[in-house]
Amino acid sequence: MISRFGFVLLLMVSLLFAACSIVPPRAPAQSPTSSPTPTTPPAQPTEAPATTVPEEYRGLYEELDTALTHFEHNLNQEWDGHQGQTVFATELAFANGNIGEWLLLPQMLDSNRILLDRLQELGIKGVVLSIKYPLLQPDFPRSAEYLEFYKDIAAECRQRDMKILVETGAIFSGTAYSPIQVDWSKYTTESFLDGMRDQLLLIAKEIKPDYLTLTEEPTTQEALTGLKIAPSLWNSYVTSALNGIDRSSGIRLGAGMGSWENRAYIDGILQMPEIDYIDMHIYPLDRYGIILDRVLDIAQDAHDAGKAVTIGECWLYKASPEEIVAGPGIDGNVFNRDPFSFWYPLDARFFDSIINLADATNMEFASFFWTRYFFAYLDYSTETSSLSVAEMNRRINQAANANVKEGILSPLGQHYQQRLSSHASPN
C-alpha cells in the first residue's frame, strides 16, 4: 500500500519531462579514420543486473556499443589521462519546473531534502535546477510561491556545499510532461524573449546560482512555442540579458545548445567577452559517436575564445540514426526503453565517456539528467516490454522513489558513486 506521501510523490515525479524530447535532427554519417581500440573497462559495481539483450533491441544495442567504442578510441587520441576538477552533478528531479503546482505542495521541500541527502551520499557535488518560463513572471499564477520554493531549494543546496546551475526555457505546456497550460499564441518573438530575459534577471537577483545558463536548446524552444527565432535574435537576447544582470554575487553566466543543433546558435555567443561558459546538452550519439566528437570540437573552440565548458544535461539516447528524423517531435516510446536493466553496461560506459570527456576538456561542471536511474531499473519481460508510456513511468518511478527513501542505489548509481569516489575532488 502506497502512503499518501508516496502516492503524491509518485504522481509528481510521473510528470517529469525529458529535456531532449524534442527529437534532434539527424546528423550525417561519417566513417572513422582508424579502427577502434577499447578503453580500460570501468570498475564493476557489487551487483549488476542480467545483461542479456532482447532480440528486438540487439541491433540498437550493438549500434550504440559501436558508437561508444569509436568515441572512446578518438578521445584516447586527444586525452593524456589527466583528471580535472569538474563538478559532477545531476538534475534535481523533484524541483523540475515542468511539475508546476506539485512543487508547491507542503511536503515537496522535505522530499527534495531527502533526495539531496541521497545525492550527497552518492558523492555528487552539484545540481541543475530547471526553472521554466513563465513560472516566475509576476502575472503568472502563484509566481511568488514558485520563487520562494526555489530560494528554499537553493538554500538547501548551499547547506550541502553543492554547486547550483540554473537552466530556464519554455515550460513543456501542451505535452504529456507538464500539467501547466500556457497559450503561446499570445506571445510574439519579442515578448517571449523579453519575458525570458526578465525572469533571468530575477533568478540572478533572488536565487543567485553559481551558474546561470541564459539559453539552451533553441530549436526546442521554437518547437514548444511555435515561434521562429533566428540565431541572430538569440544572440541579441543573450546580449540584453548580459547587460542587465548584476554579477556582484560572483554568478557565472553561460549559454549553449543541444549537441545536435546548428553551430550558428553559439558561434556569435563565442565572441561575447561577457560570457563565462558554453553549455552543452548531449543526448544522441549518431554513427561512430560523431556527436560526442563534435562536443570535443566545440569545447576546443570555447577554450580558444577564453570560455569554460559545461554540460547542463546528458543521457544515452536509445535510438538509432534512422529513428532520429529531422523536425521536432515528442516520442515517449524512446524514453520507454531507458528503464530496462539490460542497458546498464552501455549506460555505465556512457557515464565513463562523459566523465573522461569532462577531464579531457577541463570542464567546470557536468550533469547527468535521469536521476531516477541512479536508484532503480526494471527488468525486461514480455509484460514490461508492452507497457504504455504512462504505466512504464509509474512502475519505474515507484521503484526509484522507494529506493530513494531507503537509500538504495541501482547498479548505475553504484557505478557513478565508485567513479566519483575515485575521481579527483573539486577544490
At 287 the pLDDT is: 79
Q: What is the pLDDT of residue 48?
A: 52
pLDDT in tens, 27-66: 333 323 333 333 333 444 444 555 699 999 999 999 999 9
Question: 171: Cβ–Cβ under 8 A, 6 or more apart, which residues?
Answer: 97, 98, 100, 132, 133, 134, 135, 178, 180, 182, 224
CA distance 133 to 202: 12
Q: What beta strand segments (E) does 168-307 contain?
A: 211-213, 252-258, 277-282
pLDDT in tens, 183-194: 999 999 999 999
pTM, two decimals, is 0.88
User: How many C-beta atoms lie closer than 10 Å to residue 322's C-beta?
Assistant: 9
pLDDT digits (tens, 9 = 90+) for 83-110: 999 999 999 999 999 999 999 999 999 9
Tell me the angle at which helices 143-159 and 108-122 cross, rounded to the nearest 10 degrees.
Answer: 30
CATH code of domain 19-29+36-422: 3.20.20.80
pLDDT digits (tens, 9 = 90+) for 289-347: 888 889 999 999 999 999 999 999 999 999 988 887 653 345 668 889 999 999 999 99
91 three-class SS: strand
pLDDT at residue 424 in the model:
60
Q: 125, 426 in Cβ contact below 8 A?
A: yes
Give per-residue pLDDT as tens, 348-400: 999 999 999 999 999 999 999 999 999 999 999 999 999 998 899 999 999 99
Q: What is the pLDDT of residues 217-276, one digit of tens each?
A: 999 999 999 999 999 999 999 999 999 999 999 999 999 999 989 999 999 999 999 999
Assess whether pLDDT exceeds 50 at residue 1.
no
pLDDT score recorded for residue 321:
84
Write down the domain spans for the chain. Answer: 19-29+36-422
Output the average pLDDT for the chain: 87
Share of the chain above pLDDT 70, in %: 85
